[in-house]
A = this chain, B = another copy of it.
Amino acid sequence: MTSRTLTARRSLAVPADTAALRILNTAARLSDEERALVRRLCIFQEVINAGEAFTSEGRTVTPRLILSGWACRQRILADGQRQIFGFLLPGDGVGLGTDARPLDEASTVALTRVECVDAVMLREILALQDPRHDRLRRALATARRYEETCLLNHVVRLGRQSALARLAHLLLELRDRLQRAGLCSIDRMHLPLTQEALADALGLSLVHVSRTLSQMKRNRLIAMQNGWLTILDESYLRSACDYDADYPVLH
């Protein structure tokens, strides 16, 4: 039915698991043992093609760590409209956490080809409450909290910001997240989102996203060429959208 592929390859994916490790390590400094655990998990990689859902038939999301590619959580409304709740980037986890959360149950869909790792085993190992994995558990809790923070930011964008501010705020947030995963420099990032995806996330029409992006380019706030975004005037963008990087404090 699905064209999902399950490959059992040795983790030649040296760069692939880096993003996940970097994010987790940023959230709470991991021990060597914990790093090794995460690396060992990367033996079983899966590929989900663009447009495919993350859910197995059984409804609940399989726990996964994303190694490369972008996905989103979304809901399709009765009239066919789509609302995107948030994006999943390399290094992000899905369906980890002991209890099933509605956000995880919202259908998760790959926006590009996504390489990921089955994390069922990770979830089970962490559920054992072994103190040697304390930092890893803490890191995942931090990541989960940050996810909720992003959802609140999303509400603010939708409720109280103009089209330009919404875009600026989202782009800066994505840049920060990629940077934390070690996947982009300060002003340049790969942005594989269609304008339609941006529109469905930001509660705007596709056409207006196009116009607003054009305007941002015209005013030399950003530049875009074949899927790459350059942030030209970060300080202006920040002030235009009241952006405040609020990654949870390490502890």
Listed in ascending order, the chain A residues whose CB lies under 8 Å from chain B are 75, 77-79, 81, 83, 85, 99-103, 106, 141, 145, 148-149, 151-152, 154-156, 158-160, 200-203, 242, 248
Contacts and interface: CB of A to CB of B under 8 A. Distances in A.
16 contacts: A75-B152, A75-B156, A83-B155, A85-B155, A100-B145, A101-B148, A102-B149, A102-B248, A103-B148, A103-B152, A154-B155, A158-B158, A158-B203, A159-B200, A159-B201, A160-B203
Nearest to A242: B78
Given A85-B155, A155-B154, A203-B159, A242 B99 contact: no
A102 B154 CA distance: 13
A245 to B, nearest CB: 14
A211 B149 CA distance: 33
Given A78-B242, A242-B77, A242-B79, A99 B145 contact: yes
A77 B155 contact: no
Given A148-B101, A149-B102, A152-B103, A159 B79 contact: no
Nearest to A150: B102
Nearest to A154: B155
A83 B156 contact: yes
Contacts of A154: 155
Given A102-B145, A141-B99, A145-B99, A151 B155 contact: yes
The CB with the most chain B CB atoms within 10 A, among A101, A102, A148, A151, is that of A102
A127 to B, nearest CB: 13
